[in-house]
């Protein structure tokens, strides 16, 4: 069976280095807010090119904390609206509503699966204060026009960079394109920890300071609390692992690109719509390789029978979830079509050429 993602193999590729770091951290007797987190934050900031990086407990918290900090700073108020793609993982939206802000869903572009820039302005009101962009599947969504639109309406750009660490737009890394960015280091992401972990990057010093306090009970100084904060810290063990793996992220993303380029070149079954092949390969880190077909159910069954494991990202759009009952009657046809037709093929830095060949043959023989 070709696994969708072989996490064990991905982490065993760095076994010796990770085990040494884990042992060292265990023996140090220091498990929170220590040198490992500091080192990872410094290296993450350097890698992204941002002035600040803050480790937090997970990707959802990263996004929640950014918005919460904007509220504490008076940049946003409860009831303000944040534009967000209708086609995203629900965490992007949860981060908004959790803060008492209003998510305003915008349809994606069917060819990029990312937010359709031309449909943003019609959804704006005087209360629109932010634009959350999601580099879905690992593909950058950014342009001069998007930047200009945000500037014109004085919107904060918040990047949901959970799926795209290492991607670049004209030489600038995702995570350094807007006001602040949230990262997820969930084990299955391109840079994955051994449990939950997340991060935030920004060039805004006041924002960074506010987030740091908010993530630590609202405190910058022990037992002095300036905000009603939460506890959302990255721990030393996860930071130590991430610091090892960060060194290899470019090489691992490059291997993902190689596999994606083979899929794009060699899958030739007209029943499937493949993702776009980009002129600038740096604009994609292929967190997921997502094809579309109107025969998804039978294709998935056939692939399973032929030893290829696939997943669906995602089967139910956020506006049709019970969690957002008020939206259930809304219609987002492009989002709904995407959710009904997408299928994610195996892709990871540890897949062998032979395994890639098996996936390609299976698809072409369908
Ligand atoms: C994974 C993910 C998140 C949430 O990250 P967690 O670390 O699982 O909380 C948010 N947004 C997107 C697009 C994601 O893929």
| Chain CA centroid to CA 316, Å | 18
- Tell me the C-alpha distance between 143 and 145, whole Å: 5
Give the model confidence (pLDDT) of 245-271 as tens digits: 999 999 999 999 999 999 999 999 999
pLDDT at residue 272, as a whole number: 97
How far away, in angstroms, is 334 Cα from ligand 1 center?
22
Give the model confidence (pLDDT) of 314-337 as tens digits: 999 999 999 999 999 999 999 999
pLDDT at residue 200, as a whole number: 99
The pair phi, psi for residue 60, each rounded to 5°, is -65, -45
User: What average pLDDT does this structure show over 82-93?
Assistant: 98
Establish whether residue 160 lines the binding site of ligand 1, counting it when its CB lies within 6 angstroms of any ligand atom: yes
* Longest Cα separation, the chain: 65
pLDDT band at 153 (very low <50, low <70, confident <90, very high): very high
pTM over 0.85: yes
Give the model confidence (pLDDT) of 173-186 as tens digits: 999 999 999 999 99
Cα torsion at 90, 95, 100, 102 (round to 10°)?
Answer: -50
> Which one, of 125, 205, 192, lies nearest residue 162 by Cα?
192
The two tokens of residue 154 are 């004085």
Nearest CA to ligand 1 atom 7: 59
How far away, in angstroms, is 94 Cα from ligand 1 center?
10
pLDDT at residue 137, as a whole number: 98
pLDDT at residue 112, as a whole number: 97
- Of ligand 1's atoms, which has the minimum distance to the CA of residue 92? 11
pLDDT at residue 199, as a whole number: 98
The answer to whether residues 58 and 198 touch, using CB atoms and an 8 Å cutoff, is: yes
User: What average pLDDT does this structure show over 33-38?
Assistant: 97
- Of ligand 1's atoms, which has the minimum distance to the CA of residue 185? 7
- Of ligand 1's atoms, which has the minimum distance to the CA of residue 136? 13
Mutate which of 58, 60, 234 for ligand 1 pocket (most atoms within 8 A of beta carbon):
60
pLDDT band at 224 (very low <50, low <70, confident <90, very high): very high
The answer to whether residues 349 and 13 touch, using CB atoms and an 8 Å cutoff, is: yes
Beta-bridge partners for 157: 131
pLDDT at residue 104, as a whole number: 98
Establish whether residue 134 lines the binding site of ligand 1, counting it when its CB lies within 6 angstroms of any ligand atom: yes
- Tell me the C-alpha distance between 331 and 43, whole Å: 43
Establish whether residue 58 lines the binding site of ligand 1, counting it when its CB lies within 6 angstroms of any ligand atom: yes
User: What average pLDDT does this structure show over 15-29?
Assistant: 98
Helix (H, G, I), strand (E, B) or coil at 35: helix
How far away, in angstroms, is 336 Cα from ligand 1 center?
20
Give the model confidence (pLDDT) of 205-218 as tens digits: 999 999 999 999 99
The answer to whether residues 175 and 181 touch, using CB atoms and an 8 Å cutoff, is: yes
The answer to whether residues 316 and 339 touch, using CB atoms and an 8 Å cutoff, is: yes
How far away, in angstroms, is 64 Cα from ligand 1 center?
11
pLDDT at residue 51, as a whole number: 98
User: What average pLDDT does this structure show over 123-127?
Assistant: 98
pLDDT band at 290 (very low <50, low <70, confident <90, very high): very high
How far away, in angstroms, is 181 Cα from ligand 1 center?
12
- Of ligand 1's atoms, which has the minimum distance to the CA of residue 63? 10
Nearest 5°: CA angle at 266, between 265 and 268? 105
User: What average pLDDT does this structure show over 50-61?
Assistant: 98
- Of ligand 1's atoms, which has the minimum distance to the CA of residue 58? 7
- Of ligand 1's atoms, which has the minimum distance to the CA of residue 287? 15
pLDDT at residue 354, as a whole number: 98
How far away, in angstroms, is 365 Cα from ligand 1 center?
34
């Amino acid at each position: 069976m070709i696994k969708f993602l072989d996490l064990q193999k991905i982490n065993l590729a760095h076994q010796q280095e990770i085990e040494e770091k884990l042992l060292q951290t265990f023996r140090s007797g220091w498990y929170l807010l220590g040198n490992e987190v500091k080192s990872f934050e410094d290296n993450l900031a350097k890698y992204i090119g941002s002035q600040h990086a803050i480790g937090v407990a997970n990707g959802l918290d990263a996004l929640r904390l950014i918005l919460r900090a904007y509220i504490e700073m008076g940049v946003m108020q409860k009831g303000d609206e944040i534009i967000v793609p209708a086609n995203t993982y629900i965490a992007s939206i949860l981060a908004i509503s959790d803060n008492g802000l209003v998510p305003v869903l915008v349809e994606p572009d069917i060819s990029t699966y990312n937010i359709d820039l031309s449909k943003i302005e019609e959804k704006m009101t005087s209360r629109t204060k932010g634009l959350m962009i999601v580099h879905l599947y690992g593909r950058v969504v950014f342009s001069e026009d998007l930047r200009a639109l945000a500037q014109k309406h004085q919107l904060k750009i918040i990047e949901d960079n959970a799926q795209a660490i290492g991607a670049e737009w004209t030489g600038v890394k995702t995570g350094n394109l807007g006001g602040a960015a949230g990262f997820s280091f969930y084990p299955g992401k391109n840079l994955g920890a051994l449990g939950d972990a997340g991060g935030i990057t920004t060039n805004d010093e006041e924002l960074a300071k506010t987030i740091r306090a908010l993530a630590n009970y609202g405190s910058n100084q022990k037992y002095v609390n300036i905000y009603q904060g939460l506890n959302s810290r990255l721990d030393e063990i996860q930071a130590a692992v991430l610091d090892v793996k960060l060194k290899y992220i470019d090489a691992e993303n490059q291997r993902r690109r190689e596999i994606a380029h083979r899929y794009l070149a060699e899958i030739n079954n007209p029943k499937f719509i493949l993702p776009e092949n980009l002129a600038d390969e740096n604009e994609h880190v292929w967190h997921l390789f997502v094809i579309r077909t109107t025969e998804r159910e039978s294709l998935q069954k056939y692939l399973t029978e032929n030893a290829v494991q696939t997943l669906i990202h995602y089967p139910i759009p956020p506006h049709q979830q019970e969690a957002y009952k008020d939206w259930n009657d809304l219609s987002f046809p492009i989002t709904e079509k995407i959710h009904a037709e997408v299928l994610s093929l195996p892709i990871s830095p540890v897949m062998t050429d032979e395994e890639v060949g098996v996936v390609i043959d299976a698809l072409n023989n369908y």
